[in-house]
Structure 1
């Protein structure tokens, strides 16, 4: 619940358990952690609130925010015009875009048109802008929708689908951690849907948004935000 201006308060923050390294479930602690969790906690320290992070599925984030079950979304959620019609976003935190994951033994040189996927299956996460982007393309393969990115990567690894079209930083991080040894990011595919990440809040809380943006500005000026990004090997 949003408290009175200037008073210390606890705000519920929705973060996904599968968005490594931005937000993900730490199996040892049972808590959601990640770069965006660190960011919202640091913002809270400066803006006068304690961030109580709640594990929330991706497709439930905006409904949970607009219904009041959470007060802030801190996840790998990019700032888009469509989302800005429903919620308010903070100033940009991190540049973000799509990537194409494929098997290492796939010789295909994929391009922005994705016409090379014709006759194949493309995996994409539900509730993301990438699903809309794929639907708007012509001459591409069959689109298969998944609940999360890990499942997309698993099916590419197993050969069930040819490629995955999803968040480049998350997939590259997973590959770098050695979790999908048979996969690689397509080097020929060039990003075309880049948008920054931001914290999302309800539209009827401009005072909270101002406090968040003031805290973010301080973190950018001091280098604290850059340090958090570097901590998660995203610099």
Structure 2
């Protein structure tokens, strides 16, 4: 029994040393306008994921190396192993399949995407089937689970999507609801949230060769949920006051 205890303790020490020496490369920025999840201009308010990701990996005892890449480069860098992980929602992938190269963490928090249109067109776009064979505004490099159903019209960011609606370059676009409403307010452009496009939760998508780190990552996520840290970070960027309507019921008027 004593020998087994010593052996177990030795293995734990070796594991801790391996974890401490592990450095993972990542890029969390999405587009340059992925508010409130990432805000590149402000170091003190870097966005929900800008704050949360370093906290998760610090608690997990894993060092991070941050790289800044556009979404299209991020996806290819993950495929080739230049990046080790990112943060995504399985709901963005066809059949919610992240691919054989990756494993996923426990959920962080919910995220939704809607079809966004000008206010006067909301009623017309209440059914998701409306996008079939239509030109739909998308962000270059982003993943959409059903982009074989419509014709992508790529723009640089969510900010550009909202502007494209105003300029009638597209009749509809796909965006995270919080991001679209933020830019509509900032740009004073009247948009509404129409059909729900995806409804899921954000997870850490990590390359399978790092699968042994998942228990530490999941434990860190659980701790940050339990002590209220994740809710506190989300609340910092998203209003949850009683007078604030659910996002699915909100439109932004001129």
TM-score band, normalised by the shorter chain? 0.7 to 0.9
1:89 alignment counterpart: 104
Which of 163, 170, 175 is equivalent to 1:166? 175
Determine which of 56, 63, 73 is the counterpart of 2:69.
56
Counterpart among 41, 46, 51 of residue 54 in structure 2: 41
Q: In the TM superposition, what is the alpha-carbon distance from 1:166 to its structure 2 partner?
A: 2.2
Name the CA distance, whole Å, in 1 between partners of 2:53 and 2:122: 41
Rate the CA distance shift 1:85–1:195 in 2: closer, same or farther, 3 A. Answer: farther
In 2, are the aligned partners of 1:32 and 1:53 still within 8 Å (CA)? no
What's the TM-score, normalizing by structure 1? 0.79
What are structure 1's unaligned runs of at least 5 residues? none
Gaps of 5+ in 2: 1-15, 241-254
Aligned to 2:154: 145
5 Å-filtered alignment, 1:172-191, equals: 172-175=181-184, 178-186=185-193, 189-191=194-196
Aligned to 2:209: 204
Output the CA distance in 2 between the equivalents of 1:165 and 1:218.
Answer: 33
Q: Residue by residue, what CA displacement relative to the aligned partner does 1:56-91 show, whole Å, maximum 9, x if unpaired? A: 2112223222333223214xx212433243322211
Q: Partners of 2:140 and 2:103 in 1: how far apart?
A: 21
Closer/same/farther in 2, CA of residues 43 and 183 from structure 1, 3 Å limit: same
Match of 2:119?
104
The answer to whether the 8 A contact 2:158-2:183 is kept is: no
- Scaled by the length of structure 2, the TM-score of the pair is 0.74
Corresponding position: 1:154 with 2:163: yes
CA contact (8 A) 1:43 1:216 kept: yes
